[in-house]
């Protein structure tokens, strides 16, 4: 078998395959045994007719077509492997030459992962890895956050105004400010609207204007909705809110001491501090590695050019849609409501996501090329180890979960993801061939 590769536009690989006439002849012999039983030939039982008589009644073309199909099936994956082509779409098979006395030739055209020529990585591996250490201020902020997680809400004293960090319940009505029509219908009305001042979850400008207000005192709050607000009916609009605070509660944050530590599952304050300090230190170092990885990938994306397969981009958009839908559902909404609120179509949303999807695909293809260049691989045991947490979560034998992955065809996909992750770690933490902790 001879194989030739030609790269076509739109990330399509054309693999031309040539097979010797003797192989075609042998394939025809096997084809006769396969197809002879499909035909009724007068005077013979099915499958018992001599070949010459079969060819006289049915024709040699049937055997040629059957042999050709068999040869394509037998040599398809071998040809792609020999040409180092990784298919990602449905192939198109074109028969070029099918004659008993000539080599059998066929072409495979399939969308595939492109060739990514990284060149030498020495220059990008010279990118310095910033030596970061967690500061005392960061540690104290982490400890305060731990303490705040155990805070209890308590009513403020009567007559005390709302302050930053307070949880307030509002009687709220919102009106478009256009014309200040006293008879206008509110676009929003809520008698128990809850907000944490300073959380940033309410529309920008509302929370800060609640500071200093007392319970029971009506107040008019004016603001402008941002231009990027998802509700097109409100973005950029001037509005006024008629608000009255019904209730103010203030979090009572416990002291950072042994009692807090024990509440959080530690022996004492010292163990709490050491644990949080270690965790913070690891996070700060990982952030430095992530920043270095982003800079290296940025350099590689600038200097490496290749066509992005549409199949991979569409798959990345599908994954982003799935992530968005999951996030919306956690917020009590769904994708349909989101699209309706923005007054766009599903196709419009797809196109919005396309640039980010293209960047994601380009990064993954570059990381796969890094893995190949550095001979990074993932063993079966490593894939199985990555599945163990899922087995523990669902309290199932790991072998059973592994078999499910293999049956669904997800085992190799998981391996590919782990290879990309390993390449990311390599770029993030390797400085001119030296691994750093």
Instruction: Report the pLDDT value the prediction gives residue 421, as an integer from 0 to 100.
Output: 95
Arithmetic mean of pLDDT, 103-116: 92
Q: What is the pLDDT of residue 336?
A: 86
Predicted confidence at residue 50, as pLDDT, reads 87
Q: What is the pLDDT of residues 193-210, one digit of tens each?
A: 999 999 888 888 899 999
| Residue among 249, 234, 247 nearest 204 (CA) | 234
Domain boundaries, the chain: 2-111, 152-252
* C-beta of residue 117 within 8 angstroms of C-beta of residue 251: no
Does pLDDT of 281 surpass 60?
yes
As to burial, measured by CB atoms within 10 angstroms (0-12 exposed, 13-18 middle, 19+ buried), residue 198 is middle
86 Cβ contact partners less than 8 Å away, ≥ 6 residues apart: 80, 112, 113
The Cα–Cα gap between 57 and 36 comes to: 11
Distance in Å from the first CA to the final CA of the chain: 49
CA triple 284-320-340, angle to 5 deg: 125
pLDDT band at 386 (very low <50, low <70, confident <90, very high): very high
Per residue in 128-161, pLDDT (tens digit) is 888 889 999 999 999 999 999 999 999 999 999 9
325-354: b (≥16 Cβ within 10 Å) or e? eeeeeeeeeebeebeeebeeeeeebeeebe
* Burial of residue 297, with CB atoms counted within 10 A of its CB: 0-12 exposed, 13-18 middle, 19 or more buried: buried
pLDDT tier at 416 (50, 70, 90 boundaries)? very high
Contact 175, 242 (CB under 8 A): yes
Residue 428 to residue 253: CA distance in whole angstroms: 38
Q: Are 106 and 68 in contact (CB under 8 A)?
A: yes
How far is it, in rounded angstroms, from Cα 24 to Cα 267?
78
* Burial group, residue 104, by CB count within 10 angstroms (0-12, 13-18, 19+): buried
Question: Is 217's pLDDT higher than 60?
Answer: yes
Q: Report which of 270, 281, 291 is spatially closest to residue 135, judged by C-alpha positions.
A: 281
User: Which is more confidently placed, 292 or 339?
Assistant: 292
pLDDT at 382 over 60: yes
pLDDT (mean) for 208-234:
87
pLDDT digits (tens, 9 = 90+) for 55-82: 888 888 889 999 999 999 999 999 999 9
State pLDDT tens for residues 302-326.
989 888 999 999 999 999 999 999 8
CA distance 418 to 411: 11
Q: In CATH, what number does 152-252 get?
A: 3.10.50.40
Q: Please tell me the CATH code under which domain 2-111 is placed.
A: 3.30.70.1050
Tally Cβ neighbours within 10 Å of residue 34. 13
Q: How confident is the model at residue 334 (pLDDT cuts 50, 70, 90)?
A: confident
**Residue in 268, 208, 277, 199 with CA at minimum distance from that of residue 241:** 208
The pLDDT score that the predictor gives to residue 183 is 67
Q: Given this model, what pLDDT does residue 169 score?
A: 95
* pLDDT at residue 327 greater than cutoff 90: no
What pLDDT was estimated at residue 437?
Answer: 57
Distance of CA 403 to the CA centre of its chain: 24
| Helix 411-429 × helix 380-393 angle, to 10° | 110
Task: Identify the weakest region by mean pLDDT among 25-39, 66-80, 155-169, 248-262.
Answer: 25-39
CA angle 319, 324, 327 (to 5 degrees): 125
Name which of 9, 53, 6, 16 is nearest 309 in CA terms: 9
pTM: 0.74
Residue 434's pLDDT band (cuts 50, 70, 90): low
- Sequence length of the chain is 437
CA distances, 58 to each of 27, 38, 66, 256, 295 (Å): 18, 11, 13, 91, 67
- pLDDT band at residue 34 under the 50/70/90 scheme: confident
Among 276, 60, 38, 47, which Cα is nearest to 149's?
276
State the Cα–Cα distance between residues 308 and 12, nearest whole angstrom: 10
- pLDDT level of residue 284 (50, 70, 90 thresholds): very high
Average pLDDT over residues 43-53: 83
- Mean of per-residue pLDDT scores for the chain: 90
């Amino acid at each position: 078998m001879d194989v030739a590769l030609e790269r076509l536009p739109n990330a399509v690989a054309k693999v031309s395959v040539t097979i010797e006439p003797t192989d075609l002849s042998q394939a025809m012999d096997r084809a006769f045994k396969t197809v002879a039983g499909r035909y009724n030939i007068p005077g013979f039982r099915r499958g018992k007719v001599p070949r010459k008589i079969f060819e006289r009644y049915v024709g040699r073309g049937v055997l040629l077509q059957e042999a050709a199909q068999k040869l394509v099936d037998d040599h398809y994956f071998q040809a792609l492997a020999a040409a180092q082509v990784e298919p990602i779409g449905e192939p198109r098979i074109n028969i070029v030459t099918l004659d008993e006395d000539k080599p059998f030739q066929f072409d495979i055209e399939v969308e595939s992962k492109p060739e990514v020529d990284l060149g030498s990585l020495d220059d990008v591996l010279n990118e310095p890895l910033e030596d970061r250490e967690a500061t005392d201020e960061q540690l104290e902020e982490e400890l305060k956050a731990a303490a705040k997680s155990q805070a209890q809400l308590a009513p403020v004293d009567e007559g005390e105004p709302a302050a930053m960090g307070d949880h307030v319940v509002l009687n709220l009505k919102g009106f478009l400010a256009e014309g200040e029509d006293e008879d206008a219908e509110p676009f929003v009305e809520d008698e128990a609207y809850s907000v944490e001042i300073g959380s940033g979850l309410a529309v920008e400008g509302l929370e800060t204007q609640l500071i200093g207000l007392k319970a029971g005192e009506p107040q008019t709050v004016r603001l402008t909705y941002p231009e990027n607000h998802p509700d097109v009916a409100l973005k950029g609009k001037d509005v006024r809110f008629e608000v009255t605070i019904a209730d103010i509660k203030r979090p009572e944050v416990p002291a950072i001491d042994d009692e807090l530590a024990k509440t959080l599952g530690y022996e004492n304050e010292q163990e709490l501090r050491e644990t949080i300090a270690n965790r913070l230190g690891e996070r700060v170092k990982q952030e430095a590695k992530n920043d270095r990885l982003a800079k290296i990938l940025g350099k590689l994306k600038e200097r490496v050019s290749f066509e992005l397969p549409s199949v991979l981009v569409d798959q990345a958009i599908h994954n982003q849609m799935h992530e968005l839908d999951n996030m919306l559902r956690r917020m009590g909404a769904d994708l349909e409501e989101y699209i309706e609120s923005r007054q766009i179509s599903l196709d419009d949303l797809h196109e919005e996501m396309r640039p980010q999807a293209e960047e994601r695909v380009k990064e993954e293809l570059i990381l796969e090329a890094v893995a190949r260049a550095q001979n990074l691989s993932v063993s079966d045991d490593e894939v199985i180890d990555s599945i163990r947490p899922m087995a523990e979560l669902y309290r199932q034998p790991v072998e059973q979960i592994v078999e499910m992955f293999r049956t669904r065809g997800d085992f190799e996909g998981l391996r590919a993801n782990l290879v990309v992750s390993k390449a990311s770690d390599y770029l993030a933490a390797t400085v001119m061939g030296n691994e750093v902790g």
